[in-house]
Structure 1
Amino acid sequence: MTTSPSSALRPGRRTAPQWLVPAGLILLSLIPVIAGASRMTELAGGAAITPQNARFFASPVPVVVHIVSVTVYSLLGAFQFVPALRGRRGWHRVAGGILIPAGLLAALSGLWMSAFYPLPDGDTDVPVRLLFGSAMLVSIIRGVIAIKRRDFVRHGAWMTRGYSIGVAAGTQAVVILPWMLLVGTPDELTRALLMTAAWVINLAVAEYVIHRRARQSALHVPRPAVRSRPTTAGVP
């Protein structure tokens, strides 16, 4: 069966689906973005200091840097998953020039807060935050090294992994909320396990996307023409 030119060029048939993924990522990112905006308002408005937010008032710069950089990284990064935009070299370079510094700042500020902020008693998720924050940092750095070497495939793979870690706060809310509704407020150990599960889910999706891209690229690689051997009449 062949596709008619009119159906191939019909608007909406191929442009709409490619926006579903970035739209979903933006919706997922809105959860931590709104929470970050609330925290910024709290800091700017001089809210009451509690054991849960005292560390932010004592040292606001790291959390402000983290909120701003994560917001830029998660929202702008979603558009890198639009094939029509990703294929435009100018857009990809400009967006990458913003996303790489934003991602590095998000990872470094998150690591700083995990390592140096005095956390409330019973908080057991610091090792997990340090692990995945370091993984995000390494992923972005390896993505930069790959693009310097013009290894576009590995660049895309590592940047996808870094982004999946960076937007896991939204997934964590999606994972933890049903637990709270069905079971109740999780204890610190359960909360750490649920947060870890969210990061693992995002990384699993990232690996699926990476391998799917690789398969699609392999299908579009032109095969070398096979030259037939010259034959002599009567000889096969």
Structure 2
Amino acid sequence: MTRHASAASRRGRSNRWLPFALIALVLTPAVFGTLRLIGLAGGPQLMPADPRMTASPVPLIVHIVSALGYAVLGAFQFSARFRRRRPGWHRAAGRILVFLGLAVAVSALWMTLFYPRQPDTGVLAFLFRLAFGSSLAASLVLGFTAIRRRDIVCHRAWMTRAYALALGAGTQVFTKAIGPAVFGTSQFTLDLSLGAAWVINLAVAEYVIRRPRHRRINQPIDRATAKAGS
């Protein structure tokens, strides 16, 4: 029993820090996005000017603001301790997150389709952005419909996938540095580096979703959350 209590204590400590680790992952793109917003608002130009964005800034502003809110608010949805203590908050925040997540996905797709192509990227990056942006929107819709029919396990799985996809920019900070360093600088390498970030995030999400211990630990909490939110 002591061994089980010790393991549970270690899991509780690691879970306590999980939201902050997730927020740290997107810290770099969050800083760059904030600097871009400052420039678009008429402040000092702390980022290189991008004619694609200055010509049509609204989708970019929606994307940055929604992504920041989604990343920070969504991180605390993965804290079992937080859900247990504030089940009503979990439900209310979840509704906001669906709205923010859809805004992230739709604005990303709009920029992909209607902004001129990002310099140094090719058709593969374009297709990646369409595929994973659409997957983010679909995951959010599927997660929302699952909780409406009280399917907690399915809801958690789709929302985990959605959050993993939304954090692609954070992982791209690493893949865009490692890919060219290992395989050389080329358009194809950059495109693959962008896509690799989403694939890595989804792989981690699937591991978390399918880990038996994770599902067994959280099921009682999820049932309490569903009951409080009903």
Normalised to the residue count of structure 1, the TM-score between the two structures is 0.81
The sequence identity of aligned pairs, in percent, is: 44
| Range with bigger deviation, 124-133 or 184-193 | 184-193
Question: Residues 56 and 81 from structure 1, CA distance in 2 versus in 1: closer, same or farther, beyond 3 angstroms?
Answer: same
Map of 2:105 onto structure 1: 107
Aligned-residue offset at 1:177: 1.8
Supply the AA of the counterpart residue of 1:167: L
Map of 1:93 onto structure 2: 91
Aligned-residue offset at 1:126: 1.2
Aligned-residue offset at 1:61: 0.5
Supply the AA of the counterpart residue of 1:207: E
* Cα pair 1:80 1:92 within 8 Å, conserved: yes
Alignment of 1:62-77 (within 5 A): 62-77=59-74
> Could you list the runs of 5+ residues in structure 2 that have no partner in the other structure?
221-230
Aligned-residue offset at 1:20: 3.0
CA shift digits 1:152-196 (9 cap, x unpaired) = 11010000001000001010111122345x359732211110111
1:39 to 31, 36, 40: 36
Map of 2:157 onto structure 1: 157
Higher helix share: 2
Count of residues in correspondence between the two structures? 214
* Cα pair 2:15 2:80 within 8 Å, conserved: yes
> Could you list the runs of 5+ residues in structure 1 that have no partner in the other structure?
222-236
CA shift digits 1:192-217 (9 cap, x unpaired) = 10111111100000001101257642
Larger relative contact order, structure 1 or 2 (CA cutoff 8 Å, min sep 6): 2
Map of 2:131 onto structure 1: 131
Alignment of 1:1-236 (within 5 A): 2-3=1-2, 15-44=12-41, 45=43, 47=45, 53-87=50-84, 88-120=86-118, 122-124=120-122, 125-180=125-180, 182=181, 186-212=185-211, 216-217=215-216
Q: Determine the C-alpha separation between the residues in 2 that align with 1:14 and 1:22.
A: 14
Question: Residues 53 and 91 from structure 1, CA distance in 2 versus in 1: closer, same or farther, beyond 3 angstroms?
Answer: same
Supply the AA of the counterpart residue of 1:206: A
